[in-house]
Chain A
Amino acid sequence: GENVEQHPSTLSVQEGDSAVIKCTYSDSASNYFPWYKQELGKRPQLIIDIRSNVGEKKDQRIAVTLNKTAKHFSLHITETQPEDSAVYFCCPRPTGRRALTFGSGTRLQVQP
């Protein structure tokens, strides 16, 4: 099965700074790479995703970069705000697998 590792496990930044979370996966057949945000007690929400034929995708303050050769992808959040505080999960999905496998999560704390 897919082995997924996220780093760091916790991240504290000052408001306005950038945050980067890295996800490493093992299955070279992975072709779909989403990031989910989960606030305390709430459901995970998709914030950005990328497919294997694209190296980078950006949506306002959020971006995802993919390195298929090295089997890792990263979440970049610029100009962080207190409402970005949450747990972020990477969920790479191999071809042929229907469900997402969640990484261990990164707790982001944005200090005002």
Chain B
Amino acid sequence: GAVVSQHPSWVICKSGTSVKIECRSLDFQATTMFWYRQFPKQSLMLMATSNEGSKATYEQGVEKDKFLINHASLTLSTLTVTSAHPEDSSFYICSARDTSGRNQETQYFGPGTRLLVL
């Protein structure tokens, strides 16, 4: 199946700093990628849909100025958590569909990035 990678796998930062997370589709092109957040023992919550070459679509309640998304190419989307605070500590997971492949409905997930803000 299609492969999605993320970098870094974990990051620890001080409160007030910004953190960038990269999501790549390794063997397919993705015009759309999805960013989820998962707190401990909870479900995955969709934060935003990243669109190649245009603005991201944010879910209700997600601050677009705090979570900056850039989808500059067909294989790379980035999520920047600006001015991170301890409450932003979470597991961030990206996802994409290979809409030109055999399993066009399947959503593939990256390995996630664990963020800890001190």
- Is B106 a contact partner of A34 (Cβ separation < 8 A)? yes
Identify which of A43, A45, A89 contacts B43 (C-beta below 8 A).
A89
Interface residues of A in 63-80 (CB under 8 A from B): none
Identify which of B36, B44, B49, B108 contacts A98 (C-beta below 8 A).
B49
- Is A101 a contact partner of B46 (Cβ separation < 8 A)? yes
Smallest CB-CB separation from B46: which chain A residue? A99
- Is B44 a contact partner of A44 (Cβ separation < 8 A)? yes
Tell me if A94 is interfacial: C-beta within 8 Å of chain B.
no
Majority-rule SS of B interface residues: strand
- Is A51 a contact partner of B49 (Cβ separation < 8 A)? no
Q: Which residues of B contact A42 (CB under 8 A)?
A: 111-112
Q: Check A43/B109 contact, CB under 8 A, given A98-B32, A98-B97.
A: yes
CA distance A46 to B44 in the complex (A): 14
- Is A32 a contact partner of B105 (Cβ separation < 8 A)? yes
Interface size on A, residues (CB 8 A): 21
Interface residues of B in 82-118 (CB under 8 A from A): 93, 95, 97, 105-112, 114
- Is B45 a contact partner of A102 (Cβ separation < 8 A)? yes
- Is B109 a contact partner of A104 (Cβ separation < 8 A)? no
Tell me if B67 is interfacial: C-beta within 8 Å of chain A.
no
Smallest CB-CB separation from B32: which chain A residue? A98
Report B's interface with A, CB cutoff 8 A: 32, 34, 36, 42-46, 49, 93, 95, 97, 105-112, 114
Can you list 26 A-B pairs, Cβ within 8 angstroms, ordered by A? A34-B107, A41-B112, A41-B114, A43-B93, A43-B109, A43-B111, A43-B112, A45-B109, A46-B106, A46-B107, A46-B108, A51-B105, A89-B44, A91-B107, A98-B97, A99-B34, A99-B46, A99-B49, A99-B107, A100-B95, A102-B36, A102-B45, A102-B46, A103-B43, A105-B42, A105-B43
